C-alpha cells in the first residue's frame, strides 16, 4: 500500500567546483544535460514525457514571489506554501494558512484573520478541525490586489505582499505569533470585521474590539485614531506606514500586548545542538522598534515546546488544534530534551542463527529482491528492506549474505545516482528541487513527499557507509547522497540551490508532506514515521561518514518530531484531541486538526501502521510513551474487529516497544501464514521481536553520550547498547552513570560495566532520600543540596503536575506491608515570596513495565514568605488516589514535586534524611 500522500518543492545554482562534490548544481547560464557529482550525476532537464510542478489542470507553474524574493529557494512543504505555489489556478491569493493561534487567508483586499476556538468533529467522527473562519480582514482603504505573493520568509514566519498599482501592503505572520504586523502605503489602515464589533477599550490609536467572542487589539501609530463605522474600522497612519493587530487571550491583557505592539517581528531562527544525550534548541525572533525602544515580544509555544522549556511563561494561553499554547514574554526560548535513540540495528539477543539465516536467504535469493519497484517511493521501500538485513547477516557471521545484500543496494543506488538511464534524479532550477523520475504520489507535479522517498535512500546509503566507507566518500557516491539530503533537509540558510529544511517545520515540530499546501484544512502529513526515517538516516549517515553537523541535525529532527508525533498523532498525554473526537490516534495531521484516516484506505491496520513503518533502529523513540502504544494497539483491534491481519508484522513490532512478550507471542502463533508488508521481511521481524523479548522494551529515561546508543529494560535489568562508527575504540557513558566500552566499527551490548556513578540501583529498605539529578536512594552519606521547584506562573495546578521535579528508584523489590501507607517528609522553602504552594505525587509501577499501577496525589502545602526550610508531609492529606498497591517485583517508585499555585520558584532540599519518601514495604 502506498504511504502518506499529500503535496511539496524548490532549487537553483551554486558553483561548478561544488557540483563535483555534490554540493550544488553547476553554475552557468547554459545548463548541461548532465551534472557530474562525484562518481554519479543528475540531469538538469527532466526526462522526456515527464512533468515538473503544475497547477491542478496540468499547466506548468512558477513560484509566486515578489521581485525581492526572485531566485531565492522557496520553502515548499510549509504551513504557508500556497502563497508561493498556486496549485489551484482559480485562486491567486492563498488557501487557509494555519499559523496557530491565528489562521489566515489572503484575499484581494488584504489578509483574513481568524482564531478558531471551537472544534468540529466531522466525517462520521473520524476528523476534528478548527477550521479557518474569518473574524476580520486587515487591509488598506481601496486595496484590490490581483494576487498575493511571498515577499520574504524566515524559519517560521512569512511576509505576504499585495499591490494593486496604487496601494501596497506587507504583513508578517507566523507560528506562535499573536500579532499581525502590517506595513502599507497608498491608503489608510482598514479592518473589516465579520460582524459589527463590540468595543471594550478606546485609547485613540489603540482600540480593543470583540468579534465572534474573540478579543482583538488594533494598534495604529501614536497620534492617530481608530474610527468605527458598522463593520469597518479605519485609521489614518499619520504619515507613517505601520500598524498591527493582536488576538488577546483576555481583555485584561491589553496593557501587556500594547507594550509590544510596535516591536515588529522581522525574522525567526532556530539553533540546535546535541551534547552527550541532550538535544537543545533555541527559538529566536528578531524585532524592529517602530516606536520607542521596546524590542521584546510575545510568542505562543506549542505543547511539545512548553513541556520541555524551563523558561518562564506568562499566565496567558490560547486554544489550538495542538492543544493549549502558552505565552512567553520574550524574543526567545530554549527547549531541552533527552535525545532519541538510534541504532543501525538491534543486537541479536536470543536469535537462533539458523532460523535467521533461512529468513535472510529468502530475501537475498529472491528472483526480484526489489519486487518490481520502479518509482522513487517503492524503490526506496525496497532499499530500506534490504538495508535492514545487512547488520543482521553480519551479526551471525554470514558475510556472504551481507555482501550480497550490500551489492544489491549499491547497484540500485548507483543506477539512480547516474543520470541518463531509465531512472534518474533531475534538478529543477525554477523550483530549486531535485526530483526522482519515475516519480510517484505527486513528488514531481506537486513536489510532495520528498522526505518520505529520499529518507529510504539516505538510510540505505548509511548502512552501506557503515561497511564500505570508500563507497560513501564525496569522490565516490557520497556526494549524491548529500545532494538528496540538501533537497530534503538542508541545514544551510545561505544555500542558493535548495531551501532550508524543506519539509521540516521547525516551530510546528514536524514535517509537512504537501508541496503546495493548497487545501482548506492547510498542509498535512500522514506517515510521520517515514519522516522520522529520514531523520534517523541523517544520524546514521553523519555518524558513518564523520559528518557531525548532519548527525546532530538528524538527532534534533528525530527528537523534536518524536515528541510532536507523541502529542499530535498519538495524543500521548490525552491533552490534545478534543473530547468529542473518540479516537486515541490519528493517521493524518492537518493544519486545522487531524483525521483517523489515510489518503488511500479506511483499513484500521493501515491507519495505525502508517505512522510506524518503516521499523528500524530509528523507531525506538516510539516506545517512549508505552501507555499510548497500548491504547493505540487496543483501538486498532477494536476498529479492526480483532488482531491485525494485513500489516500484522508492522503492528507486532510496534506493540513490542511496550509489551515485547505479548508481541513475540503473536509472532510465535502466526508467523507462518502471512505476507510481509512491502518494506518488511520475516528475517527483520523475527530478529526485532526476538531481540526485544530478550532485552526488554526501550527505556527512554536513560540516554547515551552518542546518538547511536540505546537502553532496554526487562524487569530489574537494564541493557546498554551503542554502535561506534569510528576507527578507534571509545567509551560511551549513560545518563544513569553506567558506561560501555565499544570497539571500533562495532556494536557493543552490556549491563553497564565501568560505572562512574552507581546511582540508587536495586533498592533495599523502605526509606528513600532524594538526590539532585532525579534519583531516590536508600543510601546515605550524601551532601545536602537543593533543587528548584519551578513557578506555577500564576496558574492553578492543584492536582496536576506542572514542570515537576521527578525522582525515581528502579528495580525495587518489596512485600506490601499489611495496613501500611505511603509517608514522606519534604523540606521546602519559598524564600520571601508570598502565596506559593507545593504539591507531591507518589506513583508505584509494581513490575517495572512502564505502567504505574497506583498513583497518590497529596494536598498541597502552602509555604510561608519567610526564608527557611518548612516540612511538608503526608499528613496534609490525600487529595486523590487511583489503582491498588501490591508487591513490588523489579518495580519503580516515583516522587513528583511541583508548584500547585503561586508566581515564584521555591526550593526542595535533597541529599539528607530530612527529605525522604517512606514506602509501605518490607
Q: Return the active site residues.
A: 449, 526, 530
Measured distance CA(201)–CA(582) in Å, rounded: 41
In this structure, are strands 593-595 and 697-698 parallel, antiparallel, or unpaired? unpaired
Distances (CA, A) of 371 to 23, 381, 406, 599, 639: 32, 10, 17, 23, 31
Q: DSSP label at 119?
A: -
Three-class DSSP category at 606: helix
CA atoms of 12 and 430, how far apart (whole Å)? 7
Phi and psi torsions of 88, nearest 5°: -105, 110
- Cβ neighbours, 10 Å, residue 35: 23
Gap between the Cα atoms of 553 and 535, Å rounded: 8
In the block, cell 533555541 appears at: 282
- The CB density around residue 863, as the number of other CB atoms within 10 Å, is 26
Give the whole-angstrom CA distance, residue 607 versus residue 526.
9
Q: In this structure, how many other beta carbons lie within 10 angstroms of the beta carbon of residue 781?
A: 6
Task: Tell me 769's DSSP state.
Answer: E
Find, among 376, 425, 352, the residue nearest to 5 by Cα: 376
Dihedral angle over CA of 565, 326, 850, 771, nearest 10: 130
Q: Residue 374: what are its φ and ψ, rounded to 5°?
A: -125, -45
Q: Is the dihedral of CA 682, 683, 685, 690 positive or negative?
A: positive
Rounded Cα gap, residues 398 and 114, in angstroms: 61
**Eight-class DSSP state of 283:** E
What gap in Å lies between CA 236 and CA 226, rounded to an integer? 8
- Distance in angstroms (rounded) separating the CA atoms of residues 4 and 613: 11
Rounded distance between C-alpha atoms, residue 605 and residue 639, angstroms: 9
How many helical (H) and strand (E) elements, i.e. helices and strands, does the chain have?
15, 51
CA angle 133, 570, 455 (to 5 degrees): 95
Distance CA 533, CA 453 (A): 10
Q: Where are the alpha helices (DSSP H) in 442-547?
A: 450-467, 478-489, 528-545
Amino acid at each position: 500500500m502506498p504511504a502518506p500522500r499529500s503535496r511539496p518543492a524548490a532549487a537553483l545554482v551554486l558553483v561548478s567546483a561544488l557540483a563535483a562534490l555534490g554540493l550544488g548544481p553547476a553554475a552557468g547560464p547554459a545548463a548541461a544535460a548532465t551534472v557530474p557529482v562525484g562518481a554519479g550525476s543528475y540531469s538538469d532537464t527532466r526526462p522526456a514525457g515527464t512533468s515538473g510542478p503544475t497547477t491542478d489542470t496540468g499547466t506548468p507553474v512558477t513560484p509566486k514571489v515578489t521581485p525581492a524574493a526572485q531566485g531565492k529557494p522557496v520553502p515548499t512543504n510549509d504551513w504557508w506554501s500556497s502563497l508561493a505555489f498556486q496549485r489551484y489556478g482559480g485562486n491567486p491569493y492563498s488557501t487557509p494558512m494555519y499559523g496557530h493561534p491565528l489562521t489566515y487567508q489572503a484575499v484581494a483586499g488584504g489578509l483574513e484573520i481568524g482564531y478558531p476556538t471551537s472544534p468540529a468533529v466531522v466525517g462520521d467522527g473520524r476528523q476534528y478541525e478548527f477550521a479557518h473562519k474569518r473574524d476580520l480582514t486587515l487591509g488598506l482603504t481601496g486595496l484590490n490586489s490581483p494576487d498575493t505573493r511571498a515577499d520574504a520568509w524566515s524559519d517560521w514566519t512569512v511576509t505576504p505582499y499585495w499591490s494593486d498599482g496604487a496601494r501596497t501592503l506587507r504583513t508578517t505572520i507566523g507560528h506562535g505569533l499573536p500579532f499581525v504586523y502590517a506595513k502599507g502605503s497608498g491608503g489608510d489602515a482598514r479592518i473589516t470585521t465579520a460582524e459589527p464589533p463590540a468595543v471594550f477599550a478606546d485609547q485613540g490609536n489603540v482600540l480593543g474590539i470583540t468579534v465572534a467572542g474573540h478579543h482583538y487589539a488594533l494598534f495604529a501609530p501614536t497620534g492617530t485614531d481608530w474610527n468605527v463605522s458598522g463593520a469597518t474600522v479605519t485609521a489614518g497612519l499619520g504619515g507613517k506606514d505601520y500598524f498591527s493587530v493582536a488576538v488577546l487571550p483576555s481583555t485584561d491583557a491589553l496593557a501587556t500586548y500594547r507594550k509590544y505592539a510596535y516591536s515588529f517581528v522581522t525574522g525567526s531562527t532556530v539553533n540546535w545542538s546535541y551534547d552527550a544525550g541532550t538535544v537543545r534548541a533555541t527559538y529566536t525572533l528578531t524585532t524592529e522598534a517602530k516606536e520607542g525602544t521596546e524590542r521584546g515580544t510575545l510568542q505562543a509555544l506549542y505543547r511539545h515546546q512548553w513541556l520541555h522549556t524551563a523558561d518562564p511563561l506568562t499566565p496567558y494561553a490560547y486554544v489550538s488544534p495542538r492543544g493549549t499554547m502558552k505565552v512567553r514574554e520574550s524574543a526567545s526560548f530554549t527547549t531541552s530534551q533527552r535525545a532519541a535513540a538510534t541504532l543501525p540495528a538491534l543486537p541479536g539477543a536470543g536469535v537462533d542463527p539458523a532460523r535467521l539465516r533461512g529468513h535472510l536467504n529468502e530475501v537475498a535469493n529472491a528472483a526480484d529482491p526489489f519486487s518490481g519497484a520502479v518509482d522513487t517511493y517503492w524503490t526506496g521501500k525496497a532499499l530500506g528492506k534490504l538495508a535492514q538485513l545487512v547488520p543482521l547477516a553480519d551479526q551471525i557471521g554470514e558475510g556472504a549474505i551481507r555482501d550480497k545484500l550490500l551489492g544489491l543496494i549499491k547497484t540500485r543506488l548507483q543506477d539512480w545516482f547516474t543520470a541518463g538511464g531509465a531512472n534518474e534524479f533531475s534538478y529543477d532550477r525554477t523550483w530549486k528541487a531535485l526530483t526522482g523520475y519515475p516519480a510517484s504520489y505527486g513528488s514531481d507535479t506537486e513536489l510532495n513527499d520528498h522526505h518520505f522517498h529520499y529518507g529510504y535512500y539516505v538510510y540505505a546509503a548509511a548502512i552501506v557507509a557503515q561497511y564500505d566507507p570508500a563507497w560513501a566518500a564525496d569522490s565516490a557516491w557520497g556526494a549524491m547522497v548529500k545532494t538528496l539530503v540538501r533537497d530534503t533537509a538542508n541545514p544551510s540558510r545561505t544555500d542558493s540551490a535548495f531551501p532550508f529544511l524543506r519539509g521540516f517545520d521547525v516551530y510546528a515540530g514536524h514535517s509537512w508532506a504537501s508541496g503546495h499546501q493548497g487545501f482548506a484544512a492547510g498542509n498535512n502529513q500522514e506517515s510521520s514515521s517515514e519522516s522520522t526515517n529520514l531523520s534517523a538516516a541523517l544520524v546514521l549517515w553523519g555518524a558513518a561518514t564523520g559528518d557531525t553537523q548532519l548527525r546532530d541535525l538528524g538527532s534534533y529532527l528525530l527528537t523534536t518530531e518524536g515528541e510532536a508525533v507523541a502529542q499530535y498523532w498519538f495524543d500521548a498525554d490525552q491533552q490534545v484531541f478534543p473530547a468529542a473526537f473518540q479516537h486515541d490516534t490519528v493517521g493524518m495531521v492537518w493544519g486545522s486538526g487531524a483525521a483517523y484516516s489515510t489518503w488511500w484506505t479506511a483499513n484500521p491496520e493501515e491507519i495505525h501502521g502508517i505512522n510506524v513503518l518503516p521499523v528500524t533502529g530509528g523507531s525506538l523513540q516510539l516506545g517512549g510513551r508505552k501507555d499510548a502504544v497500548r491504547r493505540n494497539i487496543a483501538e486498532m483491534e477494536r476498529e479492526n474487529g480483532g488482531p491485525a491481519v494485513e500489516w500484522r508484522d508492522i503492528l507486532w513490532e510496534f506493540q513490542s516497544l511496550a509489551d515485547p512478550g505479548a508481541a513475540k507471542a503473536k509472532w510465535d502463533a502466526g508467523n507462518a501464514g502471512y505476507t510481509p508488508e512491502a518494506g518488511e521481511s520475516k528475517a527483520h521481524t523475527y530478529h526485532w521481536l526476538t531481540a526485544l523479548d530478550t532485552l526488554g522494551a526501550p527505556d527512554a529515561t536513560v540516554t547515551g553520550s552518542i546518538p547511536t546508543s540505546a537502553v532496554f529494560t526487562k524487569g530489574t535489568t537494564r541493557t546498554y547498547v551503542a554502535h561506534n562508527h569510528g576507527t578507534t575504540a571509545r567509551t560511551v557513558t549513560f545518563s544513569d552513570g553506567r558506561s560501555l566500552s565499544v570497539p571500533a566499527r562495532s556494536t557493543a551490548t552490556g549491563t553497564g560495566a565501568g560505572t562512574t556513578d552507581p546511582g540508587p540501583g536495586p533498592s533495599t529498605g523502605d526509606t528513600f532520600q532524594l538526590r539532585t539529578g532525579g534519583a531516590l536512594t536508600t543510601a546515605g552519606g550524601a551532601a545536602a543540596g537543593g533543587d528548584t521547584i519551578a513557578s506555577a506562573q500564576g496558574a492553578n495546578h492543584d492536582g496536576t503536575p506542572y514542570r515537576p521535579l521527578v525522582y525515581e528508584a528502579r528495580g525495587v523489590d518489596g512485600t506490601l506491608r499489611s495496613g501500611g501507607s505511603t509517608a514522606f517528609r519534604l523540606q521546602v522553602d519559598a524564600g520571601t515570596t508570598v502565596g506559593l504552594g507545593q504539591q507531591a505525587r507518589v506513583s508505584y509501577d509494581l513490575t517495572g513495565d512502564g505502567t504505574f499501577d497506583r498513583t497518590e496525589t497529596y494536598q498541597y502545602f502552602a509555604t510561608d514568605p519567610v526564608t527557611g526550610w518548612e516540612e511538608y508531609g503526608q499528613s496534609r492529606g490525600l487529595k486523590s488516589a487511583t489503582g491498588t498497591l501490591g508487591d513490588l517485583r523489579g518495580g519503580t517508585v516515583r516522587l513528583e514535586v511541583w508548584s500547585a499555585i503561586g508566581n515564584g520558584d521555591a526550593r526542595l532540599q535533597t541529599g539528607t534524611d530530612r527529605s525522604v519518601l517512606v514506602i509501605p514495604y518490607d
